Amino acid sequence: MALKASAQGLEIVDKARKKKGWTKTVTVAWWQDALTTQATLRRFWRGIPIQSESFINICQVVGISNWEDILDCSTDEELEVSDISAQEDWGEAPEMAAFYGRTEELNHLHEWIINDKCRLVSLLGMGGIGKTALSVMLADKIQNEFDYVIWRSLRYCSSVPDLLTQLIKFFSNKQVTELSNNSGNAVSQLLDYMKSHRCLVILDGAEAILNSGEMSESYKEGYESFGELIKRVGKERHQSCILLTSREQLNEIALIEEETPQVRSLLLSDINNAAAWQLFQSKGLSDENCWQHLLKIYRGNPLVLNIISSYIKKYFVGKVGDFLKLETIFIGDIQLILDTSWQRLSSLQKELMFQLATEPSSLVKLKLNSSVSTSDIMAALQSLERRSLIQRQLEGNDIIYTLQPIVKKYVKKRAN
């Protein structure tokens, strides 16, 4: 027998899950303790009938024993399934085991997309900083504000026509199976749906469609028309939103966000101390008085902190003080994150990184040590800063560029 929740019942469940500090569909413990799946939990929240055992378990694990109070007793279930189940496609969206902090960023993105009706939002940051995780949390939070929600990883789309085909098939409920061979017409077809419906499209990992080692961030073969898609989504009127995550800012977005209020970018920085402390506690680290020193070295990249915390737990029984006594910056598996970013840099960007690993420098000093033009150096520095690989700070009257300790250690290792 299939059961579904009423609107009033969902309000009761919502209050219960908030008391436990759980999200609607991202907290792994919820669907695991309920012996079900994340997809089933999502259907529960959309008011789609699910198996009675899963329905009862979902209620009980948040402390609701009288699951009958949550039940929608209407009989029109089949129509409900067909109407709602076609409205979301989570594709390659990952299941989230843990999420720390980012309340301010979540609020910003919610404000931009829901209240300000942004048409195009770019979520930027280096590998491991939490772009994908934040986009999952955001989609979980705002999904009910949209008629359609679709998630796609650009790592697994072979071309722009392939992506457009998937999106248009979804928005048309598979009524459209063939697209125009003209990319401009296909984009117009997509925009027609984005005008007539409120659609949320999450495109994850846009750096995957960019050529490596290119200063101009040119597109790979098969994705040459992606820039035109982005420009039209950002400039033309519609009621939908594309949220794009990337390690690198797309040139089209950088240009149009200056003139279009409904196009915005958010560069993710380190998580704050409170979030880092939560992470350290979840990993079972001890010597809390040493955590600030550990954070000063490895900063607030969640994946980096996860890696180093797991290492300390395994090889130092969680004793941060013993690890820090070695007075070394251990890279280990963190190198895999930095390798990916390094391989995407141009020769000039790598040259500048080598210089900054030797000593912090101003633009003038970097220019003295290079034979290329000042404008090329400025463009390279801007690109490195957008990728969170360098930092800019004011010292006296000068702007000084520098590297985080872990990045500095990595670059020096590359130089040897």
Claim to verify: residue 42 and residue 112 sit in the same structural domain: no
Residue 129 lies in a domain: yes
**Alpha carbons 313 and 308: distance in angstroms, whole number:** 9
Claim to verify: residue 172 and residue 141 sit in the same structural domain: yes
Claim to verify: residue 73 and residue 186 sit in the same structural domain: no
Residue 379 lies in a domain: yes
Claim to verify: residue 246 and residue 356 sit in the same structural domain: no
Q: What is the mean pLDDT of the chain?
A: 88
Conformational region of residue 136, where left means phi above 0, alpha means psi within -120 to 50, and beta covers everything else: alpha
Claim to verify: residue 80 and residue 190 sit in the same structural domain: no
- The CATH number given to whatever domain includes residue 172 is 3.40.50.300
Of the residues 250, 267, 284, the one at which a domain ends: 267
**Alpha carbons 190 and 66: distance in angstroms, whole number:** 45
Determine the average pLDDT of the residues in 293-320. Answer: 94
pLDDT for position 81:
41
Residue 94 lies in a domain: no
pTM of the predicted model over 0.95: no
| Helices (H), ranges, 21-157 | 28-33, 38-45, 52-60, 77-85, 103-110, 131-142
Residue 85: which pLDDT band, with cuts at 50, 70 and 90? very low
Claim to verify: residue 351 and residue 298 sit in the same structural domain: no
**Alpha carbons 245 and 358: distance in angstroms, whole number:** 32
- Tell me: the pLDDT tens digits for 334-349? 998 899 889 889 889 9
- Tell me: the pLDDT tens digits for 26-35? 787 888 888 8
Higher pLDDT, 310 or 365: 310
Claim to verify: residue 354 and residue 320 sit in the same structural domain: no
Residue 313: which domain range?
A: 273-333
Claim to verify: residue 171 and residue 78 sit in the same structural domain: no
Claim to verify: residue 154 and residue 253 sit in the same structural domain: yes
pLDDT for position 217:
63
CA dihedral 13, 150, 127, 231 (to 10 degrees): -130
Check residue 113 and report its DSSP letter. I
- The CATH number given to whatever domain includes residue 372 is 1.10.10.10
Distance, CA of 260 to chain centre: 23
pLDDT for position 216:
55
**Alpha carbons 45 and 176: distance in angstroms, whole number:** 28
Claim to verify: residue 295 and residue 180 sit in the same structural domain: no
Claim to verify: residue 24 and residue 158 sit in the same structural domain: no
Percent of the chain with pLDDT over 90: 49
Q: Does residue 352 register a pLDDT over 60?
A: yes
- The CATH number given to whatever domain includes residue 26 is 1.10.260
Token couple for 369? 């040590």
The total number of residues shown for the chain amounts to 416
Higher pLDDT, 158 or 201: 201
The number of domains in the chain is 4
Determine the average pLDDT of the residues in 73-99. Answer: 63
